[in-house]
Structure 1
Amino acid sequence: AYGRGRFGELIFSSIRMGSGMPRELADLSFARFLEVRETLGDEGAYDCAHFDGLALEDPQVRGVAFSECAVTDSTVTGGMFRYSRFTDVWLRGTRWIRTDLSETNWMDVEFVMAALSGVEAFGATLRRVSFHNCKFDSVNLRGATLIDVSFVDCVLRDVDIMDAKLTGVTFPGSEVTGLMLRNAKLKNVDLREARSIGIGGGVESLSGATVTNMQLLELAPVFAQAFGIVVKDR
């Protein structure tokens, strides 16, 4: 593999900066080594592969390792990638529809303009992963582990992170609605730059998160409901 350490450093720097601009394909340290692959199978490992314009229906990919790869303008409908590992992977313009990504491992990965709908990713591990201008709709991240993950200018609707562990997660410019938090463990989670925060359940699990005074006021009705507080002026 080529440039893995440098790519990881760049990803981590981008995440630490918060809302940095996403990179283009040509910016990747391993771009010149990429080889276009027209199909995706259960081959065990892919190194420096570029998957472009694929339309995958019900792929059965289990325990495959992807290293220093790029995925562009591709759609995955159904299927599964359970137990697969993605390391130093860059994805742009991808769509994931009802795909099983449970118990997958993602490290030093960048998603740009992705859409995930009805995706099952429970028990997944995401470390140093950034999402730029992505849309999440009914994504199941129950019991997942997120470390140094950034959601930049994203839309998250009805995302389930119950029983998940989040450390160093940020949401600059993102809209969050219907977030299910029950029994989640948060540490150094920064919500201050989120455009909106909507909690669907488990607001008591916000311990470990940082919000602004205005966000706290907006969340007050949810806190009141969760703790059985009746608010009346008269």
Structure 2
Amino acid sequence: MRRPAATRRPVLTPPDPGVLEPAEASDLDAQLRLEGLSLHDADLSDRDLTGLVLDECELVGAIAERTVLTHARLLTTRIERLTAPVLDAARSTWRDVEITGSRLGALDAFEAELRTVRLAGCKVDWLSLRGAVLEDVLLEDCTLEELDLTGATATRVALDRCRVGRIVVAGSRLQDVDLRGLEIGEIDDVSGLAGATLAPHQVAAMADAFAGQLGVRIEG
């Protein structure tokens, strides 16, 4: 099968939760399914919300310190100004989700599923997407200290006007992953970039790394 002539961009539809009812942090609990709720300035710190389902909801100004969202499902949900120093979202599902203006410390989304997700104007210290599945994911104007995509499967993913201090892609499977808008400080195992799209200046900057992977020597 022939590859498309150009890198395909993420296909996104902004989440529209519709008319929402106000709710409090105490309304959230593990294994609950909640629909059509709006939470403002909720403190979710030290809460175990394993298996929680939020469908057509919004969170504005929430704090999530050491919050557990393992196996949680966020569907058609908008998140603004989230502060999450430590957030455990392993094996969670994010579908039709938008996160804007947020400050995330350590976000562990190990083996998570992200489909139709947009992050904009966010700062993240460590984002672990090890073994995750990403489809139609867009990061805009984001700064990440470390992005771990070890063993991840990513399709139609783009990073625009973003910077990452270190990116780990060992064992990843990439298709239509557009990194031309990403400033990369350090990359671990360039062989994991197969399937990604880079700009010429990025390739030139990584020449030594590519040469080392191929076992060739560059001399003037």
Do they fold alike, i.e. is TM over 0.5?
Answer: yes
Alignment partner, residue 172 of structure 1: 160
Q: Is the CA contact (8 Å cut-off) linking 2:73 and 2:94 kept in structure 1?
A: yes
Q: Which residue in 1 is equivalent to 2:190? A: 203
What do residues 74-103 of structure 1 show as CA deviations (whole Å, max 9, x unaligned)? 110113111110100000000222221000
Match of 1:50, SS state, is: strand
Structure-1 residue corresponding to 2:75? 87
What is the aligned counterpart of 1:217 among 187, 197, 204?
204
Distance in structure 2 (CA, Å) of the matches to 1:63 and 1:102: 11
Contact 2:31 2:50 in 1 (8 A): no
- Structure 1: runs of 5 or more not aligned: 1-13
Consecutive unaligned residues of structure 2, counting only runs of 5 or more, are 1-8
CA contact (8 A) 1:182 1:202 kept: yes
8 Å Cα contact 2:108-2:128 kept in structure 1: yes
- Residue number in structure 2 paired with 1:34: 21
Matched, 1:104 2:92: yes
What displacement does 1:16 show?
A: 3.5
Q: Look up the SS of the partner of 1:119 in the other structure.
A: strand
221-230 or 163-172, which deviates more: 221-230
The residue identity in structure 2 corresponding to 1:101 is A
Higher RCO (C-alpha 8 Å, min separation 6): 2
CA RMSD of aligned residues (A): 2.1
CA distance in 1, matches of 2:199, 2:31: 48
> How far did 1:172 drift?
1.0
Quote the Cα distance in structure 1 between the aligned partners of 2:212 and 2:21. 53
Question: Retained in 2: the 8 A contact 1:199–1:222?
Answer: no
The corresponding residue for 2:134 is: 146
- 2:169 paired residue number: 181
Deviation at 1:159, TM superposition (A): 1.3
Closer, same or farther in 2 for the Cα pair 1:29/1:159, shift >3 Å? closer
Identify the residue that residue 75 of structure 1 maps to in structure 2.
63
* Alignment partners' CA distance in 2, 1:15 and 1:232: 39
Higher strand share: 2
Q: How many residues align?
A: 211
Amino acid across the alignment from 1:187? Q
2: CA distance between counterparts of 1:117 and 1:162? 19
TM-score (norm 1): 0.83
2:124 aligned to which of 136, 141, 145? 136
**Cα distance in 1 for residues equivalent to 2:21 and 2:184:** 39
Counterparts in 2 of 1:29 and 1:179: CA distance versus 1, 3 Å: closer
Q: Say whether 1:159 aligns with 2:144.
A: no
CA shift digits 1:103-135 (9 cap, x unpaired): 000000000011221221100000000000111
Q: Which amino acid aligns with 1:161?
A: L
